[in-house]
Amino acid sequence: MFVMLLSCFVLVLFVTNPGLTAPTFMPEEMSTPSPEAQLDLKLATDYLHQFYKLQKDNFLRIKRSEPSFISKVKEMQMFLGLNSTGVLDLETLEVMQSPRCGVPDVEEYSHIQGARWNKNVITYSIGRYTRDLRRSTVDSLIESAFGVWARASGLKFIRTHTRNADIMVEFVAKSHGDFYPFDGPRGTLAHAFGPGMGAGGDTHFDDDEHWTAGGTGFNLLLVAAHEFGHALGLRHSRNPESLMYPTYKSVRPTNLLSREDVANIKALYSPPRNHRNWLLRPLFPRLMQDKCSQDLTFDAVTTLGDATFFFRDRYLWIKHNEQSDIKEGPISNFMPTIETSIDAAFWIPRRSTAYLISESMFWTVKGSIVRGKPRSLSFFGFPSWVQEVDATVHVAKTGRTLFFMHDIYWSFNENRKVMDFGFPRSIINDFPGVNSTINAAFYKSDFLYFFVGPQVYKFDYSHKVVVGVETANSWLGC
C-alpha cells in the first residue's frame, strides 16, 4: 500500500488566563512590554510555531510588529474563521488558548495528509486502559467512535487482542515510546498517526487527563472519533461544524459527522473509477518490517534521550530502555521534517542533542524536536572532497566524535570544535579486527559497537580488541 503519513496529531489545552487583558499597541522600540503583553506574545509565538510553522529560533527578538509574525497571525485567523487583521487582539488570544488538535494547519503540510488504508476491513486493539472508566465502558466508547466512521464510509472495524492490529489504542502518560511525550493534566490530550505501516494509525490518549463518558472532563467518544478520523487519513477542516475542525468542543449534535465529514471519508475510501489496479503500491520493502530477518542491517544507530534509534533506508525502529516493545515506522512518522534516509547519527549526552546525517547535510535534534534547517557536513571541518560518511559515534569518555568513511576515520574534538591533528587515520590500524566498511557505530560503557552488515563487533575501546560478535537483529530483541 502507498503510505502517506500524518504528523502526530495532538490535542492541546492551553490554560485560560482569567485575567487576560487587551494588548497594548505602543511602539515596541519606545517602551518595555508589560509582563502580560510578554506572556501573550510568548503564547502566540508558541502557537504559531507549532501550528503555522513560524520560525522562532531567535524567540527573544520576535516582535508582534514583524512582517513574518503578522503574516502568520493572519494565516491563523483566516483558517479559524476570525477577522484577518494580523493583530494579536483579544479574540485571537482567546482562540489560541482553546483546546485543539495539534496537527499543523498550514497548507504546506497537506502533502502528508489524505493517506488511506488500502483495505476496507481494519483491525484495532486496545492496549493499556485509563483508570477513569471501567474497561467495558472504554471498550464501548472506542467501538462507538469507530462506528461513527463505519456508518459513513462502509469500512468495517474488527477488534483483535494482539499487538499486530492496524490501529493500536492505548492510554499512556509522559514519555511513552513514540517521540511525542505527553505533558500531564490539562495539556496534551491525545494524538494519532495517519494510515501506514508500523506506528501508522496508532492512537494514544494521555492517561493524566480525566476521561469521561459524559459532559465533564474530556469526553472520550468525541476525542476518539476525532483522532480516528486522522488515523483513517482525514485532515483538519475549516468548517466549525466538522468533527475534524481543529478545536475541541464538549457539546456536539447527536450525529457527530457533518456533511463535509461524510463526503470526505466517502471520497477517501471510494475506489477510483476506470483504474484496474487501485491498490496502492508499498512505499517500503517488506524486509523493513521484518526486524528479525537474519540479514537485517542498519544505516545508523544512536541514542536519543532514553531510547535507541535504529535507521534503515527511510525506516526507523525505536527501542526504549524501560519498555519491552519496539516502536517502528517511516522516519517521517516520528520526525515529519525529515523525508530522507539517515546515513549516520550520534548523540552527545551532555548537550542532550543528537545529530542525524544524510549525505552531505545533517539535522540537529534536541529533546523531541528537529531544530532548524539541515546544515552542511563541512561544519565539522572536513576537507571539501568529503561529501558523505558511513558511520559516526560520540565517545563520551574522551569527548571525541569519530567519523568513519570507507577505510579511514576522523576524530572531532567536541570541546574545541575542531578536528584533531593527524587525521584521517586508518580504521584497521586503530580498530584491529574490524576489517570492513562500517555501516553504523554505537558507544556504551567503554565499548564501541561496530555494525558491519548483519553482524555487530563489540570492541573494547580501552584495550583496542574485538571481544565479541553478535547479529544486528539481536539489538531488536530477536
**pLDDT one-digit tens code per residue, 80-103:** 888 889 999 999 999 888 777 766
Helix (H), strand (E), coil (C) string for 103-114: CCCCHHHHHHCC
Residue from 170, 227, 328, 414 carrying the catalytic annotation: 227
pLDDT in tens, 143-153: 999 999 999 99
CA diameter of the chain? 73
Nearest Cα to Cα of residue 203 among 126, 143, 103: 126
**pLDDT at residue 57, as a whole number:** 56
230 in a labelled binding site: yes
CA-wise closest residue to 326 among 115, 474, 139: 474
- Identify the band that residue 207 occupies on the pLDDT scale cut at 50, 70 and 90: very high
Identify the residue with better confidence: 447 or 47: 447
C-alpha cell belonging to residue 267: 471520497
Q: Which amino acid is at 170?
A: E
pLDDT score recorded for residue 412: 95
132 is in an annotated binding site: yes
In sign, the C-alpha dihedral spanning 230, 234, 236, 239 is negative
Q: What is the CA radius of gyration of the chain?
A: 25
Segment 358-375 mean pLDDT:
85
Cell of 263: 463526503
Span 107-124, average pLDDT = 67
Is residue 122 within 8 A of residue 228, CB to CB? The reply is: no
176 is in an annotated binding site: yes
Q: State what percent of residues in the chain have pLDDT above 70.
A: 84
* DSSP element (H, E) containing 357: strand 353-358
**What is the CATH number assigned to the segment(s) 114-237+250-269?**
3.40.390.10
Q: Which CATH superfamily is domain 293-476 in?
A: Hemopexin-like domain (2.110.10.10)
Task: For residue 204, say whether it is annotated as part of any ligand binding site.
Answer: yes
Confirm if 282 and 312 have CB atoms less than 8 A apart. no
Q: Is 154 helix (H, G, I), strand (E, B) or coil?
A: coil
Give 126-181 pLDDT, tens digit per residue. Answer: 999 999 999 999 999 999 999 999 999 989 999 998 888 999 999 999 888 877 77
Quick one: 94 exposed, middle or buried, by C-beta within 10 A (0-12, 13-18, 19+)? middle
In 173-299, at which residue ranges do the beta strands (DSSP E only) sit? 190-192, 203-206, 211-212, 218-219
Look at residue 245 in the predicted model and tell me its pLDDT. 87
The answer to whether 196 is a known ligand-binding residue is: no
Residue ranges per structural domain of the chain: 11-110, 114-237+250-269, 293-476
With cut-offs at 50, 70 and 90, classify the pLDDT of residue 20.
Answer: very low
As beta bridge partners, residue 308 has: 303, 319
β strands within 148-281, DSSP E? 156-159, 167-172, 190-192, 203-206, 211-212, 218-219
- Band (pLDDT 50/70/90 cuts) for residue 192 is confident
pLDDT at 304 over 80: yes
User: How many of the other CB atoms lie within 10 Å of CB of 161?
Assistant: 8
Of 242 and 177, the structure prediction assigns the larger pLDDT to: 242
**Annotated binding-site residue? 209:** yes
Q: What is the pLDDT of residues 243-281, one digit of tens each?
A: 988 888 887 767 899 888 988 898 888 764 443 333 333
Is residue 292 over pLDDT 90? Answer: no
Instruction: Determine the CATH number of domain 11-110.
Output: 1.10.101.10
Nearest to 228 by CA among 202, 249, 252: 202
Q: Which residues 6+ apart lie within 8 Å of 214 measured at CB?
A: none
Res 322: pLDDT:
64
| 307, pLDDT greater than 60 | yes
Question: What are 437-464's pLDDT values in tens digits?
Answer: 899 999 988 899 999 989 999 999 888 9
Read off the pLDDT of each residue in 224-239 and give the average, rounded to a whole number: 89
Q: 23 with 125: CB under 8 angstroms?
A: no
> Would you say 260 is a known binding-site residue?
no
Closest CA to 430 of 410, 452, 455, 400: 410
Predicted confidence at residue 27, as pLDDT, reads 42
Average pLDDT, the chain: 81
Does 290 appear as a known binding residue? no
Q: Which residues pair with 346 in a beta bridge?
A: 355
In one letter, which amino acid is 121? V
345 annotated as ligand-binding: yes
Residue 424: strand, helix, or coil: coil
Q: What is the pLDDT of residue 221?
A: 92
What's CA 401's distance to the chain center, in Å? Answer: 26
pLDDT tens digit string along 321-366? Answer: 766 678 888 888 888 788 889 999 999 998 889 999 998 899 999 8
* Cβ proximity of 424 and 383 under 8 Å: no
Q: Would you state the cell numbers that stand for residue 66, as one nine-digit string?
A: 514583524
The answer to whether 419 is annotated as binding is: no
200 is in an annotated binding site: yes
pLDDT given for residue 167 in this prediction: 95
CA distance 154 to 149: 8
Residue 275 is labelled as binding a ligand: no
pLDDT at 62: 64
Q: Is 79 helix (H, G, I), strand (E, B) or coil?
A: helix
Report the pLDDT value the prediction gives residue 199, as an integer from 0 to 100. 84
Distance CA 202, CA 228 (A): 9
Query: What pLDDT is recorded for position 169?
Result: 96
pLDDT at 147: 93
Model pLDDT for residues 379-393, shown as the tens digit of each residue: 898 887 788 899 999
Q: Does 236 show up as a binding residue in the annotation?
A: yes
Active-site residue 328, yes or no? no
What is the rounded distance in angstroms from the CA atom of residue 235 to the CA atom of residue 339?
19
Q: φ, ψ for residue 269 (rounded to 5)?
A: -110, 15
Whether the predicted pLDDT of 58 surpasses 80: no
Residue 167: beta bridge partners? 124
Q: Which residue has better confidence, 451 or 12? A: 451
Q: CA-to-CA distance for 328 and 152, rounded, in angstroms?
A: 31
